[in-house]
């Protein structure tokens, strides 16, 4: 194998007939915009196939994880112990997009996907991407810049965010149903990580940065910790719901999260659809009434 071939492998590619080919494939549906008020639909993420060349397929995850761990080791120096609530420069440009080390670390499919999140209790099974920019949250769950990449190592703290509510997709709409003791899972490069929920709280947006730091500091000496964040109440979005889990053993058979088509999803979807139709009907009636009123007064 040439040095050029090895370089491609270390970047997350394998050689096929001397042409670089990204391992696996990815697809997504793209609605919605704006993570404080919008909603998104889950995409599907690369599913790695490790049945090919042992050398090629085993080098990739090791190299990608090694780079992610190296990046996590720089967080204290990069952010001074803080978790930026708004990672923008003086011109308002997102700093994370200019951070090549961040954007490349744990980018397992070449398109920014780093993991897959499964929450069986609420039928969530969606991709996790770098950043929480609008276009990212229109596809799935975003990783909050300044927190650890989800490699599952002890003493690491990861924060994930997604939309709630709306007709375009569920995502974290049912996150409020989660309770202490419930579990969720992250699939990173084919390795399953289990997390058991230890804390559920609602805060105001201005307390976000400080609260995330407090949760991180409380778990610094323990196992990997992940917090999931979304807006609440649905449709109002004045507060933030934080659901935190700590690394836990993975069962031999992980419960499958449905494709978000269970009874609760149907009920919520029907309710949202009925509300939308009622609102549209009210607008039409009001406009017709205005037209009639205008005709009579001429």
Kindly list the catalytic residues.
163, 231
Distance CA 126, CA 138 (A): 12
Distance CA 157, CA 276 (A): 39
Match 């007709």 to its residue by tokens.
167
Q: Is there a contact between 230 and 241 (Cβ–Cβ < 8 Å)?
A: yes
Instruction: Label residue 282 exposed, middle or buried (CB < 10 Å: 0-12, 13-18, 19+).
Output: exposed
Contacts with 11 (C-beta within 8 Å, 6 or more apart), sequence order:
none
Give the distance from CA 77 to its chain's centroid.
25
3 state DSSP class of 186: strand
The upper half-sphere exposure of residue 272, i.e. CA atoms within 13 Å in the direction of its Cβ, equals 17
Task: Using alpha carbons, select from 54, 57, 53 the residue that is nearest to residue 22.
Answer: 57
DSSP secondary structure, 19-77, as one string:
EEEESS--B-------TTT------B------SS-HHHHHHHHHHHHHHHHHHHTTHHH
Length in residues, the chain:
298
User: What kind and span of H or E run contains 243?
Assistant: strand 239-248
């Amino acid at each position: 194998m040439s040095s050029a071939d090895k370089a491609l492998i270390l970047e997350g590619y394998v050689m096929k007939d001397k042409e670089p080919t990204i391992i696996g494939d990815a697809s997504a549906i793209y609605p919605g915009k704006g993570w404080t008020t919008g909603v998104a639909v889950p995409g599907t993420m690369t599913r790695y196939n490790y049945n090919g060349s042992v050398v090629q397929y085993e080098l990739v995850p090791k190299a990608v994880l090694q780079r992610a761990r190296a990046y996590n080791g720089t967080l204290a120096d990069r952010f001074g112990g803080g978790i930026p609530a708004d990672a923008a420069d003086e011109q308002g440009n997102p700093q994370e997009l200019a951070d090549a080390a961040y954007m490349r670390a744990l980018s397992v499919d070449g398109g920014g996907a780093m993991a897959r999140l499964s929450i069986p209790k609420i039928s969530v099974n969606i991709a996790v991407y770098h950043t929480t920019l609008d276009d990212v949250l229109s596809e799935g769950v975003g990783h909050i810049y300044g927190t650890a990449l989800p490699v599952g190592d002890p003493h690491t703290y990861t924060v994930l965010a997604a939309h709630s509510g709306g007709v375009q997709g569920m995502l974290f709409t049912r996150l409020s149903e989660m309770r202490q003791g419930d579990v969720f899972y992250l699939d990173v490069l084919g390795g399953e990580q289990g997390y058991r929920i230890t804390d559920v709280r609602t805060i105001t947006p201005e307390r976000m940065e400080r609260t995330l730091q407090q949760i991180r500091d409380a778990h610094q000496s323990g196992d990997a910790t992940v917090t999931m964040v979304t807006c609440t109440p649905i449709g109002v979005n004045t507060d933030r719901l934080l659901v935190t889990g700590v690394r836990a053993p993975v069962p031999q058979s992980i419960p499958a999260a449905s494709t978000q088509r269970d009874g609760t999803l149907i009920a919520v979807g029907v309710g949202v659809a009925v509300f939308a139709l009622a609102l549209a009907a009210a607008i039409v009636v009001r406009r017709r009434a205005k037209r009639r009123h205008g005709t009579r007064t001429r």
